[in-house]
Amino acid sequence: MVFFMNTSNLIEKDEESGTLVQVFIYRAPKKNHDAMVHLNKHCTEFFRKHGILRFEVFHLSSTDTVMDFVSIAETLSATQDEEVWMEIQSYRDHKHLDEFITNMKKDKIGESLYQEYLDLITPSSRTIMGGFTRLS
């Protein structure tokens, strides 16, 4: 079974859970673990400033599987020297996400946080992302 460990603060606003989440999954060298934790603390503050409902960060802490399931680490071709990270960002709806992105684009700090992120993830790797809408 795959378990994730929370490595950053959870941001919640008005106890809303939102109907839209954006999920990001990526690999980073284990040697960058502390730097990734530090970066995500800065991202938490930055996202809070721009109105996100929730921002959670996890790193894969187990690659054990059950039945015929496949480990996400195997799917992502993660090596022994890498960690798999996952971010979950929650928004009220698509309009809220659009407002959040518009606000972030006006803030130059976001560019430096993004560059730091690119410098810390596995070179030449790509981030997997997707938007998910809550089912009623």
CATH (domain of 42): 3.30.70.100
Residue 8 has pLDDT above 60, yes or no: no
The SS3 assignment for 133 reads strand
If you write DSSP's letter for every residue of 41-83 in order, what string do you get? HHHHHHHHHTT-SEEEEEEE------TT---HHHHTT--TTEE
Distance from the Cα of residue 108 to its chain's centroid? 20
pLDDT tens, 68-116?
A: 888 888 888 888 999 999 999 999 999 999 999 999 999 999 999 999 9
Instruction: Give residue 5's pLDDT band: very low, low, confident or very high (50, 70, 90).
Output: very low
Number of structural domains in the chain: 1
pLDDT tens, 25-69?
A: 999 999 999 999 999 999 999 999 999 999 999 988 887 788 888
Please state, in angstroms and as integers, the Cα–Cα distance from residue 92 to each residue in 6, 9, 63, 81, following that order: 22, 19, 32, 37
**Residue-level pLDDT at 13:** 42
Check if the beta carbon of residue 67 is closer than 8 Å to that of residue 55. no
Instruction: Give residue 17's pLDDT band: very low, low, confident or very high (50, 70, 90).
Output: low
Domain that holds residue 36: 4-133
Residue 9 has pLDDT above 80, yes or no: no
